A and B are shown apart, each in its own frame.
Chain A
């Protein structure tokens, strides 16, 4: 007789408490789902990244007040990254707040990505650099090395760089003009951007010592391509040279390194001269800064380079095929597109120019 009521009581208590515990758990979970995916080992790194300034904290409060609506709004502009220096793998965490801090706060543990961009004056230059900056403003620890093909650093670029708030270095070197040709043509024997990229390499070698502890990655990003944010996180773990597919090059949907079952690059999936030492586009590889510093003689060859062999001229001084690290899910995902911007038709400007030249475009 005593047993029965006891069991019943327990059952009753359980059934009473159950719905409330479920409710509380579910609410709790949905509120902290963004943080749940962070692995414990990387907790100390998370603190580095989630430094949220006051106004953001205030915004967070407002979202919490909105309750249900707030949930929907955190979907906006979400992108937070998390890094474990222990195993070099990047874990992508969804949801962020710091998108409104441009650029993200600098971290002492993340390898810096030095992005080398050669650029030259033409009508679309400011537009290209603007949207490139909008991309880079999402990437933590990015250092933009912008090298102008010009005799002097132009005010347009100087102002643009300053206003973005990015960490940058502004260089310039002019590709010698071939005065023998009619007009203001540059020396056609030197592929475009070569001198500028080489200047950046030289600057890096002069600025950083091989013994420096801050790790870095060097990436050559032309100003008209399109880069996904995921790409930068893939390249951050480069030990020597990492490679990945690039869309819209070589007359194909994409060109890609060939990766075998062991995860090693053994060839190139291209139609245009696949027997080049490195049949890859400039946007398809990144080099560890240490490697650049250890091999101070490695530069892009200036003259006598056959079309498509520019990248090989640098890479063959740095690595062998065997050392290449395939990224982007073993080179099966497209994370960068070799887009090209049309030259705008300015017919209505006429000879003297119709628009106010003081208005910067």
Chain B
């Protein structure tokens, strides 16, 4: 009797321990299969530094197309973490489904632009800076979720969803120590705009518009090291800054011109272009919709 009693206890103990272990393992696996893509703690990467790409986006006709071709570029870049921030009060289905099926490592955020900062219909696109709140939200997420340890290796790049990026660009920016810079094509009313490098240092900027700005760069023309972003929690984009000064509002506290790291063969090659996509003409669609015969809205475009 006594022997049996002992065995029973042992068995029950064993069974409970196994069950608990199994439940723990299942939960652990369940977390991994989660499609939210949130990383609580970025483990130390002994290999390539991660490129955190922050892309503000907003709903319009060409949004899905832009995100599609952007993701096709990003899929070629190893160790890339895409942070998509929607200009919206909630996550839209279109972007959620898109990101889930993109095959990329992503984080899906959202923050609406306050009404007074939004461009109204008919406003020229340079009137108010766009994407400021969204980029700041991306920075906030990084600061809250990425472990700021000694080995925090990574670089932060602000990539708008309508530009064109070559694959070489990402390899140029990957090893940024502070802030690296390069030329951007088709911006500033010129073929390209960019830093001028002499003896390996940036001495001035080649730009057609207001060269007196502290950093007359386009958003796509620089990348910041993750370490710098995490160590300067106050650094963010200022939506109230005058036109063309948004980039400067972020970079001013972070780095001086002498500290900039020139890339793209001493800033002589154009590896990114500030392309813009036309708004598709919807005259016939609008006419049809007025008659109640618009195209099937269930079909996602």
Contacts and interface: CB of A to CB of B under 8 A. Distances in A.
B301 A26 contact: no
Contacts of B75: 77, 79, 99, 138
Nearest to A225: B65
A252 B288 contact: yes
Chain B interface extent, by class = 35 or more
Contact of A339 (B22, B62, B191): B62
A301 to B, nearest CB: 25
A231 to B, nearest CB: 10
A50 to B, nearest CB: 16
Interface residues of A, number: 74
A261 interface: no
B206 A355 contact: yes
Interface stretch (B111-119, B181-189, B224-232): B181-189
B273 A127 contact: yes
Interface in B263-280: 268-270, 273-278, 280
Given A68-B32, A252-B285, A73 B190 contact: no
A23 B192 contact: no
Contacts of B80: 76
B301 A341 contact: no
Contacts, number: 208
Interface in B159-183: 164-167, 183
Nearest to B69: A226
Contacts of B287: 271
A345 interface: yes
Nearest to B270: A361
Nearest to B25: A23
A360 B270 contact: yes
Given A62-B47, A76-B104, A26 B280 contact: no
Given A226-B69, A248-B62, A253-B61, A123 B191 contact: yes
Interface stretch (A14-22, A35-43, A190-198, A211-219): A14-22
B191 A349 contact: yes
Contact of A337 (B62, B105, B191): B62
A135 B273 contact: no
A240 interface: no
A361 B192 contact: yes
B103 A78 contact: yes
Given A124-B275, A250-B284, A138 B72 contact: yes
Interface string B38-80: 0100010001000000000000011011101100110111111
A81 interface: no
B58 to A, nearest CB: 16
A6 B288 CA distance: 78
Select the residue from B11, B78, B80 with max chain A CB neighbours within 10 A.
B78
Contacts of B145: none
Contact of B166 (A30, A66, A130, A353): A130
Contacts of B29: 26-27, 30
Interface stretch (B12-20, B131-139, B237-245): B12-20
A190 B39 CA distance: 55
A360 B264 CA distance: 12
Contacts of A185: none
B65 A247 contact: yes
A88 B199 CA distance: 60
B11 A79 contact: no
Contact of B273 (A226, A228, A269, A361): A361
A349 B191 CA distance: 7
A253 B282 contact: yes
Contacts of B283: 251
B26 A75 contact: no
Nearest to B166: A130
Contact of B72 (A62, A229, A332): A229
Select the residue from A94, A123, A252, A349 with max chain B CB neighbours within 10 A.
A252
A341 B299 contact: no
A353 to B, nearest CB: 8
Interface of B: 11, 14-15, 18-19, 21-22, 25-26, 28-29, 32-33, 37, 39, 43, 47, 61-62, 64-66, 68-69, 72-73, 75-80, 103-105, 164-167, 183, 185-192, 206, 208-209, 268-270, 273-278, 280-285, 287-288, 294-295, 299-301
9 pairs of A and B residues whose beta carbons are closest in the complex: A348-B208, A251-B284, A348-B189, A127-B273, A337-B65, A19-B18, A248-B280, A78-B103, A127-B164
